[in-house]
Structure 1
Amino acid sequence: MQLDINGIETRYVLSNEGGGPWLTFIHQLGGDLSIWDQLAGYFRDDFTVLRYDVRGHGATAVPDRPFSVADLSRDLAALLDALGAPHTHLVGMSMGGMIGQQFALDYPARVDTLTLADTSSGTPPEGRAIWDQRAAAARCDGMTALAPATLDRWLTSDFQTSHPEAVEQIRDVLLRTSPQGYALACEALRDFDVREMANAIRVPALVVAGRHDTGIPPSVTEAIANAIPGSRFELLDAAHLAPIEQSHRFAALLETFLATGV
């Protein structure tokens, strides 16, 4: 389904078989809502599950001007408003985790719990050039040139060997991503920095990292857990897309967390 959200035609999928509390999933850079297919199916009997394509990704339109992670936070707020959701449990992976942190700071009363996976609270000065390089590569060479290195960051070699169909689906989504949408998102993530504000997040938080994540080292994600009072940190045997590579373990952790808030 599509809605005009802040002037951007936005695709979303709502699964509310259970009619329960809202549970919103936010995907990674170069992904789309399909990354959450399995987890959405797991939770839809007990929750009203929302997934959507972030600006410039999937079937959501590419904006004609730069945007910030704060803009992406406002997009989520507007989408929830349009769907009549006053508050939600929130799950974000990588870029989605950055949006989740910004949203929890911007709209704390609208977040029931916050689950962050394989993400950071900001890019240090020495890391900004990487985002510029990825943005330039997308614009100049297209997504095909970025795909091999991206998949090797996202998934361990063991997972790639043992789950070729899942890897192919993830690759296809990455290759179909708009180069301009990807580049604009890279620039938004380059400028994102809430490292000095993370300790102001006052909602129950579960923070998850992949042990083999080379894109965002586990120590960077763990620092978020250390900053958010009372949060819980879990390390999974996975690379950057830990909730996907270790989907059963992640689902069990999330189910317990949603039931208890700890």
Structure 2
Amino acid sequence: MQVTVNGIDTRYVLDDESGGPWLTFVHQLGGDLSVWDQLAGHFRHQYTVMRYDVRGHGSTAVSPNPFSIADLAADLNTLLDALGATNTHLVGLSMGGMIAQRFALDRPSRVASLTLADTASRTPQDARPMWEQRAAMVRRDGIAAIADATLDRWLTADFRHRHPEAVEQICDVLLRTSSEGYAMACDALREFDAHEALRDLRVRTLAVAGRHDTGTPPAATKALADAIGGAQFEMLDAAHLAPVEEAHRFAALLETFLHPRV
């Protein structure tokens, strides 16, 4: 399904047969909504599940202008308005986790709960040149130039060996990502910093890290959790795409978090 969001033709998928509370998933840089297929199938019987492609990813159009993470959070806000959602449980992975943080900070009343996977609360100054270099490489040489290194960061060698079909799908999505869309997102990630603002966030939060994540080390996700009062922190035996590599354990964590014992 497609809808125009802030001037951008945006793809989304809505599983709304349950009539339950809204549960929204936001994907990683170089991904698309398909990264959530397994989890969407798990939760669609209890929740109204929404997934979408971020600007310049999947089947969503490339932005004609530079944008920030705040702009991407505004896209999510407009999309929820268009679909008639008052509020939602929000799950973000990597870049999606940064979008989710910014959305929760700007519109806390619309967030029933916040789950942040393999993500950080800011891009340190010393890491900003890396984003500039990656954007330049992709603009010059295309996504294929970074594909192997990306998959090495995203998934452990053991998972890649045992699940070649899953790796092939994830790689295909990455390679089909618009080079300019990817590079523009790198530019936005370079400037992201929500860390101090998170100290005032009053939204129930679950933060999940992959023990073997070299792209976003677990310490960065733990620092994010520590900044949010009362946030729960969990570690999974995975690399950067923990919700894929440890899908069953991630689903169990999320289900327990969404249904806290009184």
Shorter-chain TM-score range? over 0.9
Contact 2:43 2:49 in 1 (8 A): yes
In structure 1, what is the equivalent of residue 215 of structure 2?
215
In structure 2, what is the equivalent of residue 188 of structure 1?
188
In structure 1, what is the equivalent of residue 61 of structure 2?
61
**Deviation readout 1:183-229 (Å, 9 max, x if unpaired):** 00000000011111111211100000000000010000000111111
**Aligned counterparts of 2:7 and 2:212: Cα–Cα separation in 1:** 39
In structure 2, what is the equivalent of residue 43 of structure 1?
43
**Deviation readout 1:90-138 (Å, 9 max, x if unpaired):** 0000000000000000000000000000001111110001101110111
In structure 1, what is the equivalent of residue 231 of structure 2?
231
Helix, strand or coil for the counterpart of 2:64? coil
Deviation at 1:65, TM superposition (A): 1.0
**Aligned counterparts of 2:211 and 2:233: Cα–Cα separation in 1:** 12
Deviation at 1:261, TM superposition (A): 8.0
In structure 2, what is the equivalent of residue 176 of structure 1?
176
**Relative to 1, partners in 2 of residues 1:165 and 1:32: Cα closer, same or farther, differing over 3 Å?**
same
Contact 1:113 1:261 in 2 (8 A): no
**Aligned counterparts of 1:99 and 1:134: Cα–Cα separation in 2:** 20
Which range is displaced more, 120-129 or 167-176? 120-129
**Aligned counterparts of 1:201 and 1:166: Cα–Cα separation in 2:** 36
Q: Name the aligned partner's letter for residue 144 of structure 1.
A: A
Contact 1:204 1:261 in 2 (8 A): no
Helix, strand or coil for the counterpart of 1:128? helix
In structure 1, what is the equivalent of residue 166 of structure 2?
166
How many residues were matched structurally?
A: 262
TM-score (norm 2): 0.99
Q: Name the aligned partner's letter for residue 123 of structure 2.
A: T
Q: Name the aligned partner's letter for residue 41 of structure 1.
A: G
Gaps of 5+ in 2: none
Within 5 Å, give how 1:10-159 maps onto structure 2: 10-159=10-159
Helix, strand or coil for the counterpart of 2:79? helix
Helix, strand or coil for the counterpart of 2:199? helix
**Deviation readout 1:58-115 (Å, 9 max, x if unpaired):** 0000011100000001000000000000100000000000000000000000000000
Q: Name the aligned partner's letter for residue 140 of structure 1.
A: R
CA RMSD, Structure 1 to Structure 2 (Å) = 0.9
Gaps of 5+ in 1: none
**Relative to 1, partners in 2 of residues 1:235 and 1:112: Cα closer, same or farther, differing over 3 Å?**
same
**Aligned counterparts of 2:2 and 2:260: Cα–Cα separation in 1:** 34
Helix, strand or coil for the counterpart of 1:132? helix
Helix, strand or coil for the counterpart of 2:168? helix
Deviation at 1:16, TM superposition (A): 1.1
**Aligned counterparts of 2:82 and 2:56: Cα–Cα separation in 1:** 20
Q: Name the aligned partner's letter for residue 256 of structure 1.
A: T
**Aligned counterparts of 2:99 and 2:261: Cα–Cα separation in 1:** 20
Helix, strand or coil for the counterpart of 1:260? coil
TM-score (norm 1): 0.99
**Aligned counterparts of 2:188 and 2:203: Cα–Cα separation in 1:** 25
Identity of aligned residues (%): 68
Contact 1:205 1:261 in 2 (8 A): no
**Aligned counterparts of 2:23 and 2:194: Cα–Cα separation in 1:** 24
